[in-house]
Amino acid sequence: MRLTRYFLPVLRETPSEAQIVSHRYMLRAGMIKQASAGIYSWLPLGYKVLRRIEQIVHEEQVRAGHIPMLMPTLQSADLWRESGRYDDYGQEMLRVSDRHGRDMLYGPTNEELITDIFRSHVSSYKDLPLTLYHIQWKFRDEIRPRFGVMRGREFLMKDGYNFDLTKDDALHAYNRHLVSYLRTYERMGLQAIPMRADGGPIGGDYTHEFLVLADTGESEVFYDAEITDLKFGDRAIDYDSVEACQAVLEEFTSRYARTDETHDEAVFAEVPEARRRVARGIEVGQIFYFGTKYSEAMGATVQGPDGAQVPVHMGSHGIGVSRLLGAIIEANHDENGIIWPEGVTPFHCGIVNLKQGDDDADAACESLYQALVGKGLEPLYDDRNERAGGKFATMDLIGLPWRITVGPRGLKNGVVELTSRRTGESEELPPEAAVAKVAAIYEGR
Ligand code: 5CA
């Protein structure tokens, strides 16, 4: 993409309404624009990152054996009356009626809709296990939408639902989700710690939230510092193996880590004092096992091996896809702007032409651009007639992990400059070597 042909409405001033750094940078980098309280338009740069995050979520869900689909945003109130949640959900639910006076709602989550699909089409245990998921916009009329996409009213969520014959099978589905979430967040450059939490309006008392530690997080968390040393990494995992998934769950949840809702001072006191941490975190996902809560209320039964009808065991599993942008920026920035992890960056590499209009510099930038595209990468070429300082400031703000700077002086010596956004370190290289190095960094991503 050439910057002169792109839509990147960067702001010079820091918007006064933004209280935390991720919100400020998302507005300043022209990623989002507020449409009304807690509701945002996703401008091209923000939309690009959102799509990258979605893609990682999809890939890891499919890898775990979960099946993608899509349900609507608007739902009929009748299903929610069956589960009893139409009244329980309260003012967070946006209720509307259609021209015939039928009660509808903008889905805050989808347990009812998916259970209705399940009961319409599945009648035998032989069709289990089954996990379906989608990535769809949700609406919760939050009392205090704030911090930009972090606590929105309209937000993008991945929500998945497992259907199993027995509790043990459903717990395996729970563990599979835990493993796939660890992989998902790590691919985005985040450490998200599973912590014992509360079921809230979804229900069930077996649930973990995934928290990214950050001072600006809304949740208070209590944990054993040892847990921050754990990494899933790129180890192979067989998602069909009950033992393998259970072992990961045990590894990642055996140390004390709880949100304030489930915190227990007496148990926490057993953690050696030097390792006890009280901090804040951003909840980027939550997994639930809630048994037969919805299947019993809504008659989602299957014929078991002995011929009897039994309600299925279920759980639901959410990832805050749009919230993740905020969380990633909170964890990856400096005073000049965002520092995207390579896994989610909107463009792989920036190209800064120090002397636009200089024949040699223009030609070198063009050929770098083509060479990067030829390697399957997406560069962002700042081809504006701007001072170098302005171009660097924009690149720093939008946070591309790598920048190639091209100027007449370097070209005389046959080199361009490759700079890491994260470390600030630069090296001079022949253009082909710079392209090869950037391509190698992204190989396999
Ligand atoms: N049905 C279950 C799991 S699919 C569910 O709705 N879980 S949830 O309530 O925990 O939401 C899942 C994730 O959505 C949360 O972990 C959080 O990351 C994200 N989320 C929840 N509320 C908001 C909000 N107001 N703004 C942005 N993201 C949100």
Structure confidence at residue 336 (pLDDT): 97
210 CA: nearest ligand 1 atom:
16
Mean pLDDT (whole number) for 350-357: 97
Q: Do the Cβ atoms of 262 and 197 come closer than 8 Å?
A: yes
| Mean pLDDT, rounded, of the chain | 97
What are the distances in angstroms from CA 240 to CA 66, 133, 178, 246, 341?
Answer: 12, 18, 14, 11, 30
Residue that has been written with the tokens 């989808």 in this structure = 110
Report DSSP state, residue 106. Answer: E
**pLDDT score of 200 more than 90:** no
DSSP assignments along 240-261, one per residue: T-HHHHHHHHHHHHSS-EEETT
Structure confidence at residue 65 (pLDDT): 98
Mutate to test the pocket of ligand 1, among 323, 324, 330 (most ligand atoms within 8 A of CB): 323
Domain limits, CATH 3.40.50.800, in the chain: 349-442
Q: Do the Cβ atoms of 437 and 429 come closer than 8 Å?
A: yes
Domain boundaries 349-442, CATH class: alpha beta
Structure confidence at residue 16 (pLDDT): 85
Domain limits, CATH 3.30.930.10, in the chain: 3-338
Q: Atom 19, ligand 1: which residue's CA is nearest?
A: 320
Q: CA torsion sign, 266 to 207 to 107 to 323? A: positive
Side-chain half-sphere of 6: how many Cα atoms within 13 Å? 21
Q: What is the per-residue pLDDT across 74-129, written as a single tens digit (0 to 9) for each?
A: 999 999 999 999 999 999 999 999 999 999 999 999 999 999 999 999 999 999 99
pLDDT > 70 fraction of the chain, expressed in percent and rounded: 100
Rounded to the nearest whole angstrom, what is the distance from the C-alpha of residue 95 to the centroid of ligand 1? Answer: 19
142 CA: nearest ligand 1 atom:
25
State the CB neighbour count (10 A cutoff) for residue 372: 24
Structure confidence at residue 233 (pLDDT): 95
For 444: left if phi > 0, alpha if psi spans -120 to 50, otherwise beta; the answer is: left
Structure confidence at residue 201 (pLDDT): 83
Rounded to the nearest whole angstrom, what is the distance from the C-alpha of residue 69 to the centroid of ligand 1? Answer: 18
The amino acid that residue 52 corresponds to is R
Mean pLDDT (whole number) for 259-277: 97
Q: Which residues pair with 237 in a beta bridge?
A: none
pLDDT > 90 fraction of the chain, expressed in percent and rounded: 96
Label residue 415 by pLDDT band (50, 70, 90). very high
Rounded to the nearest whole angstrom, what is the distance from the C-alpha of residue 218 to the centroid of ligand 1? Answer: 13
Query: Residue 111 and residue 291: Cα distance in Å, rounded?
Result: 12
Q: What is the per-residue pLDDT across 10-43, written as a single tens digit (0 to 9) for each?
A: 998 888 889 999 999 999 999 999 999 999 999 9
Q: How many residues does the chain have?
A: 445
Q: What is the per-residue pLDDT across 41-66, written as a single tens digit (0 to 9) for each?
A: 999 999 999 999 999 999 999 999 99
**pLDDT score of 445 more than 80:** no
Radius of gyration over alpha carbons of the chain, in Å? 24
φ, ψ for residue 46, nearest 5 deg: -65, -40
List the Cα angle 204/241/236 in 5-degree steps.
Answer: 110
Q: Which residues pair with 213 in a beta bridge?
A: 281
Q: Which CATH architecture has domain 3-338?
A: 2-Layer Sandwich (3.30)
What element of type H or E holds 417? Answer: strand 416-420
**Residues ≥6 apart with Cβ < 8 Å to 234:** none
